[in-house]
A and B are shown apart, each in its own frame.
Chain A
Amino acid sequence: MSGGARLENANPLIFQRTGERLQTANDEDEDVADPIDDREIFDILSVSINDPEHPLSLEELNVVEQVRVRVNDQENTVGVEFTPTIPHCSMATLIGLSIKVKLLRSLPERFKIDVHITPGTHASEDAVNKQLADKERVAAALENSQLLEVVNQCLISNARTG
């Protein structure tokens, strides 16, 4: 995606991927309803969103961590905190938008989705958070076909997990 331009973060730290999720007896029982939990949201995000600059997933760059995903299935809320790799990352809004779009497309309509920058990890976090929280701005941005194409390129559709 960089196409010859200088990368903002040329040498990212790479983290180890989490292992496969262990199946419990309840998971295999067809009659027990599967509430949506933190791990499921994390799985949705970690394998399917690429960093705009590198062919690495957000999980591998530790931008998204399971501990920073908060789901309340009963109250229909999902909160995701993501950590840009560097504090002046200008891709922060794009990464946040990609996370938001991925969740909007993957989750039932009943969910309220909040995406924030992990506090203290970005110079303009208040400004970025405010944009991501404004659904009118997000809706208008996604009508822009160029921006939508960039977001879609960050979201790969092939399954990389079992």
Chain B
Amino acid sequence: MKDTLALLQKFNAHPDSRCWYVAWNPKGTLLASCGGDRAIRIWGREGDSWECKTVLQDGHQRAVRKVAWSPCGNYLASASFDATTCIWKKKNDDFECLTVLEGHENEVKCVAWAPSGNLLATCSRDKSVWIWEVDEEDEYECVSVVNSHTQDVKHVVWHPTQELLASCSYDNNVCVYKEEDDDWECRATLEGHTSTVWGLTFDPSGQRLASCSDDRTVKIWKECQPGGGQGTDTAWKCVCTLSGFHGRTVYDIAWCPLTGALATACGDDGVRVFKEDETADPDQPVFSLSAHVPKAHSQDVNCIAWNPKEAGLLVSCSDNGEIAVWNYQSEV
């Protein structure tokens, strides 16, 4: 049996505008989407189709770029071009805006919750990454502002198990951050891409990081131990580069926490899934193209996300405002 990527459903999520991002809640039962129409929509499955449960329209004054669910599933954070990050609290089918995080000088490009649920990271065109702490009373406080990038920061992602953060930028680099003496610092700068790095994802174990770029490649990075004790900078090496597969900018990448499959969202309208060769040397991994839908959408694919509970369930969204739901099946 060949590996397949089959379309289950496609629907228009953001009328007359682009859908920038889509995110599964931790239980895998709800989808949050956001777009150029400044709205956030929550989708739930009704039998075989997806229905819009809630529309959050007045939270932001400009496009909403990304949304992120808290690990407990009760909160949603939204990052907007209006320079703010909104925190929403779920109350049954509705969400109320709990607080608005301000401070970035211009567009916020991403927001991400740490697995502990106590920390939040945001990044912006103002070149900075902000780390926020949240306490039991739902109070948010900025604890660090890190300026390691020299240009617009596009994405931030947390390590699945450790308190470690990675960011990527228009400056073509990836930065990795750790907390030292109550302050967050950049511990490693990963160079290698030749253009803007748009997306990042950790593998299920957190030992490797995958990045995707405007240079049309995907790079896999692995942390190597130089042999120092605590407090030393870590070193990350690029152990694999996937080139020649994508026709245009790769906007997003997602590593499935259940199966280890790697999916990409591309500006050539295609969705691709890569599988790792089990027999290869772990320090020199080999990935091959397992499934490819060339015209997944009629315009650029902006985001790709694996369902955290249902293996093979994949969602993508596009500049044409659509969300598509896919089933990926791989021969074992």
Partner-B contacts on A (CB < 8 A):
109-110, 112, 130, 133-137, 139-140, 143
Which 7 pairs, one residue from A and one from B, show the smallest C-beta to C-beta distance?
A140-B81, A140-B107, A143-B62, A143-B81, A109-B299, A110-B298, A143-B63
Q: Are A140 and B63 touching (Cβ within 8 A)?
A: yes
Binary interface encoding of chain B residues 286-305 relative to chain A, with 1 for a CB under 8 A from any of its CBs, else 0: 00000000000011100000
Question: What separation, in Å, do the CA atoms of A110 and B63 have in the docked complex?
Answer: 22
Q: List 25 A-B contacts (CB under 8 A).
A: A109-B298, A109-B299, A109-B319, A110-B298, A110-B299, A112-B248, A112-B267, A112-B268, A130-B195, A130-B196, A133-B214, A135-B300, A136-B65, A136-B154, A137-B125, A137-B152, A139-B18, A139-B36, A139-B81, A140-B62, A140-B81, A140-B125, A143-B62, A143-B63, A143-B81
Partner-A contacts on B (CB < 8 A):
18, 36, 62-63, 65, 81, 106-107, 109, 125, 152, 154, 170, 195-196, 214, 248, 267-268, 298-300, 319-320
Question: What separation, in Å, do the CA atoms of A110 and B300 have in the docked complex?
Answer: 9
Across the interface, which residues of A come within 8 angstroms of B65, CB to CB? 136
Across the interface, which residues of A come within 8 angstroms of B62, CB to CB? 140, 143
Across the interface, which residues of B come within 8 angstroms of A143, CB to CB? 62-63, 81
- Chain B at the A interface: SS class: loop
Question: What separation, in Å, do the CA atoms of A143 and B17 have in the docked complex?
Answer: 13
Question: What separation, in Å, do the CA atoms of A139 and B320 have in the docked complex?
Answer: 14
Across the interface, which residues of B come within 8 angstroms of A133, CB to CB? 214
**In-complex Cβ contact of B109 among A110, A130, A135, A136 (8 A):** A136
Q: Are A134 and B298 touching (Cβ within 8 A)?
A: no
B154 to chain A, nearest CB (A): 8
5 more CB-based (< 8 A) A-B contacts, given A112-B268, A134-B214: A110-B299, A135-B300, A139-B18, A140-B106, A143-B63
Across the interface, which residues of B come within 8 angstroms of A135, CB to CB? 300
Question: What separation, in Å, do the CA atoms of A67 and B16 have in the docked complex?
Answer: 34
Question: What separation, in Å, do the CA atoms of A44 and B159 have in the docked complex?
Answer: 49
Across the interface, which residues of B come within 8 angstroms of A140, CB to CB? 62-63, 81, 106-107, 125
Which B-chain residue is minimally distant from A135 (CB atoms)? B300
Across the interface, which residues of A come within 8 angstroms of B154, CB to CB? 136
Across the interface, which residues of A come within 8 angstroms of B298, CB to CB? 109-110
Question: What separation, in Å, do the CA atoms of A136 and B319 have in the docked complex?
Answer: 11
Across the interface, which residues of A come within 8 angstroms of B320, CB to CB? 109
Across the interface, which residues of A come within 8 angstroms of B268, CB to CB? 112
A110 to chain B, nearest CB (A): 6
Which A-chain residue is minimally distant from B172 (CB atoms)? A130
